[in-house]
């Protein structure tokens, strides 16, 4: 769950960076996130799906990596334990509409309902909060007014198209750089395996995997409602 105030662990990170001259900052669960290091945000759309999302959560936990999950509202109730686990393990949970409806091709009231129904499902499970939005296909209608930050991406390996672990892994490694936001889908076994391979490879290169909200705060960016973010710098 993402609160409307800066989470305590993010305040701790920022405070530590100021007081120590940028040596390190504590993160949730006792991990240390060094200042001035390479950060990247893994994001997953279209879940949860039990057989794949559970494997992904296990792998991320083993590696001490955090991610951001943009969930389909109509899939939340049957996977409530997985959604609760995401929040408990420090991942960011967001809104991917109720039924994966394109928000740029429906009337404003219908678009608002797609988002509101998913918000209601998340609040019923995780409590009141601000659940950031990833519009399906990264598009909203011109002039659309959503009162939370929106998240696009900077690296898209088109995992849904190839469904090939090796190709997806390499496509990410070819394009990733510090402050990238990576797009994957946790409903495909090949994407889950690719994600974990990417974590292994990039952690070995000194990258830290953080949520989108953390990525922005680590770059000194204050998230604004209604704005679309594509990288950690905005």
CA atoms within 13 A on the CB side of 133: 32
**Going by DSSP bridges, is the β-strand pair 207-209/38-47 parallel, antiparallel, or unpaired?**
parallel
111 backbone dihedrals φ, ψ, rounded to 5°: -65, -45
Alpha helical stretches, state H, the chain: 8-20, 50-63, 80-88, 108-126, 159-162, 165-175, 189-204, 212-218
Asked if 45 is an active-site residue, the reply is yes
Contacts of 120 (CB under 8 A, 6+ apart): none
Q: Which one is catalytic: 109, 185, 186, 200?
A: 185
Other Cβ atoms less than 10 A from the Cβ of 149: the count is: 22
- Preceding omega of 67 cis (within 30 degrees of 0): no
Q: Which one is catalytic: 45, 46, 119, 159?
A: 45
**Please, what sign has the CA dihedral across residues 45, 41, 192, 128?**
negative
Asked if 78 is an active-site residue, the reply is no
Enumerate the active-site residues: 45, 185
């Amino acid at each position: 769950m993402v609160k409307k105030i800066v989470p305590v662990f993010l305040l701790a990170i920022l405070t530590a960076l100021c007081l120590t001259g940028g040596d390190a900052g504590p993160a949730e669960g006792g991990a240390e996130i060094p200042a001035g290091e390479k950060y990247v945000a893994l994001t997953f759309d279209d879940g949860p799906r039990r057989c794949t999302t559970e494997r992904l959560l296990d792998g991320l936990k083993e590696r001490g990596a955090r991610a951001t999950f943009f969930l389909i509202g109509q899939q939340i109730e049957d996977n409530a334990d997985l959604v609760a686990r995401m929040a408990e393990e420090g991942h960011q949970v967001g809104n991917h509409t109720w039924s994966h409806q394109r928000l740029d091709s429906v009337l404003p009231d219908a678009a608002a309902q797609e988002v509101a129904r998913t918000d209601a499902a998340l609040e019923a499970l995780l409590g009141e909060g601000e659940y950031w939005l990833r519009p399906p296909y990264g598009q909203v209608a011109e002039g659309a007014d959503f009162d939370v930050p929106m998240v696009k991406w900077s690296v898209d390996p088109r995992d849904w198209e190839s469904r090939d672990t090796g190709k997806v892994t390499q496509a990410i490694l070819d394009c990733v750089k510090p402050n990238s936001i990576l797009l994957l889908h946790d409903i495909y076994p090949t994407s889950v395996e690719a994600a974990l391979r990417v974590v292994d490879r990039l952690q070995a290169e000194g990258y830290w995997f953080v949520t989108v909200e953390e990525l922005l705060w680590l770059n000194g960016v204050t998230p604004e409602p209604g704005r679309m973010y594509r990288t950690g710098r905005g």
